[in-house]
């Protein structure tokens, strides 16, 4: 009997030695004892920096006057030279010319004058920047016609046209030029009530009919608007403009654009 007990004890010690170093398996928990660990709270996202509008303008000329080629040079800087994360959308680089017109050249009063912004392209973001409010998608679509024009409510009241009507305006800063527009719609919003927007392409059409020595077309570009993803993009692009040798005649500057419509008064305008 003592030999059998000793033998069994020995076999038990050998079995324990064989399992030495291996942790005993824990019993599987019952289904109702399973615990789900919830993920921790996500790190808060940095708020997106608001977009900013800037304007390229002649450095020492008031009003700004630049050759049309400056628009293409600036577009290349903004769309190709900026780091990708700072670049604007292609449609947010907008060439702009001031077109001062009147229905009565002999009497350029507030009621007869129409100061147009000739722009390319016309987009909802641009119209909002110029003071339009509400849904402007229909207005943008209507501007697909080259001779289309959008008028602020005070211009509509003064001139009396309805959507679809054709109006003729005589150029003041573009002498010997008659603009024949089709009213595409009204610029919505109180800030845009005195404004008017036309397609820059129409101005180009009229320039092609002028002789080569027609002086106003040589400096017909007044501004180039650009909508950038934040102040860092503006500062970087302003540095590229300042360092570029392509803008020597005339020298230019990039500044944050003021709110609302930007246009000079017409010669002889009575306010």
User: Helix (H, G, I), strand (E, B), or coil: what is residue 265?
Assistant: coil
Mean pLDDT of 151-162: 92
Question: In the chain, count of helices (H) and strands (E)?
Answer: 7, 9
Q: Average pLDDT over the chain, rounded to whole?
A: 84
Task: Find all residues with CB under 8 Å of 127, minimum gap 6, and list them.
Answer: 136, 139, 140, 150, 187, 192, 197
Do the Cβ atoms of 208 and 31 come closer than 8 Å? no
| Nearest residue to 112 (alpha-carbon basis) of 76, 73, 157, 71 | 157
20-34, 97-111, 112-126: segment of lowest average pLDDT: 20-34
3-state DSSP of 70-116: HHHHHHHHHHHHCCHHHCCCHHHEEEEEEEEEECCCCCCECCCEEEE
Name the pairing type of β-strands 52-58 and 252-256: antiparallel
CA dihedral for 99, 181, 125, 237, sign (positive or negative): negative
CA distances from 162 to 104, 132, 167, 251, 258 (A): 19, 19, 10, 42, 31
1-5, 84-88, 261-265: segment of lowest average pLDDT: 1-5
> Which residues, listed in sequence order, are joined to residue 116 by a DSSP beta bridge?
99
Cα gap 162→231, rounded to integer Å: 41
Per-residue pLDDT at 54: 97
The two structure tokens encoding residue 34: 């399973």
Each residue's pLDDT tens digit, 30-55:
555 545 555 556 555 556 789 999 99
Q: Is the pLDDT of residue 4 over 60?
A: no
More confident site: 27 or 172: 172
């Amino acid at each position: 009997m003592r030999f059998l007990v000793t033998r069994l004890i020995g076999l038990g010690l050998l079995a324990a030695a064989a399992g030495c170093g291996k942790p005993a398996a824990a019993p599987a928990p019952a289904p109702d004892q399973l615990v789900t660990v919830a993920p921790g709270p996500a790190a808060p996202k940095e708020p997106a920096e608001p977009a900013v509008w800037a304007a390229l303008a002649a450095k020492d000329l008031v009003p700004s006057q630049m050759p049309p080629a400056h628009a293409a040079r600036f577009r290349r800087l903004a769309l190709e030279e900026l780091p990708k994360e700072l670049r604007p959308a292609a449609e947010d680089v907008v060439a702009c010319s001031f077109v001062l017109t009147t229905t009565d050249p002999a009497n350029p009063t507030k009621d007869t004058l129409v100061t147009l912004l000739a722009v390319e392209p016309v987009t909802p973001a641009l119209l909002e920047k110029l003071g339009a409010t509400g849904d402007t998608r229909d207005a943008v679509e209507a501007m697909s016609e080259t001779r289309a024009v959008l008028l602020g409510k005070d211009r509509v009241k003064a001139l009396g046209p309805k959507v679809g009507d054709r109006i003729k305006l005589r150029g003041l800063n573009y002498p010997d030029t008659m603009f024949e527009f089709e009213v595409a719609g009204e610029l919505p919003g109180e800030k845009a009530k005195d404004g008017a927007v036309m397609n820059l392409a129409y101005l180009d059409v009229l320039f092609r009919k002028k002789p080569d020595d027609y002086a106003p077309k040589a400096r017909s570009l007044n501004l180039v608007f650009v909508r950038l993803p934040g102040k860092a993009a503006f500062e970087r692009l302003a540095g590229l403009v300042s360092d570029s040798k392509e803008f020597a005649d005339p020298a230019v500057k990039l500044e944050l654009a003021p709110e609302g419509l930007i246009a000079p008064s017409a010669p002889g305008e009575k306010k």
